């Protein structure tokens, strides 16, 4: 499986923003993965874990729902630990503790 340039992490409520970002990045020639690309019958957790590890950068879309989402926080933590976190605030919110110092 090829290395993806970008993994997009977002809260379900922000799907339209994630889709717009994915379309813009793909139009610019980047390989983008987000959970809309999960195949039927795929092992959800294993696929996400694999894609997180394979991505060059993980863009986290911070919003009110994302700040309280366990999945988004877990993905952001893994990206931070791998030094490939790119936070993007799509609402005027403070990221959770541990992510506020990243720009």
Instruction: Note down pLDDT in tens along the chain; length 103 residues.
Output: 456 799 999 999 999 999 999 999 999 999 998 877 665 666 678 888 888 999 999 999 999 999 999 999 999 999 999 999 999 999 999 988 877 655 4
Q: What angle do CA 52, 69, 86 make, to 5 degrees?
A: 45
As beta bridge partners, residue 60 has: 9, 87
pTM of the model: 0.87
Give which of 54, 22, 53 is closest to 35, Cα–Cα.
Answer: 22
Residue 40: its pLDDT value, please?
Answer: 60
Residue 72: Cβ-neighbour burial (10 angstroms; 0-12, 13-18, 19+): buried
């Amino acid at each position: 499986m090829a290395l993806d340039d970008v993994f997009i992490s977002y809260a379900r409520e922000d799907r339209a923003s994630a889709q717009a970002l994915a379309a813009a990045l793909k139009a610019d020639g980047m390989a983008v993965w987000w959970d809309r690309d999960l195949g039927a019958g795929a092992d959800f957790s294993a696929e996400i874990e694999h894609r997180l590890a394979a991505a060059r950068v993980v863009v986290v879309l911070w919003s009110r729902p994302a700040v309280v989402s366990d999945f988004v926080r877990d993905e952001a933590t893994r990206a931070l630990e791998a030094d490939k976190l790119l936070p993007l605030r799509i609402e005027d919110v403070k990221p959770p503790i541990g992510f506020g110092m990243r720009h």
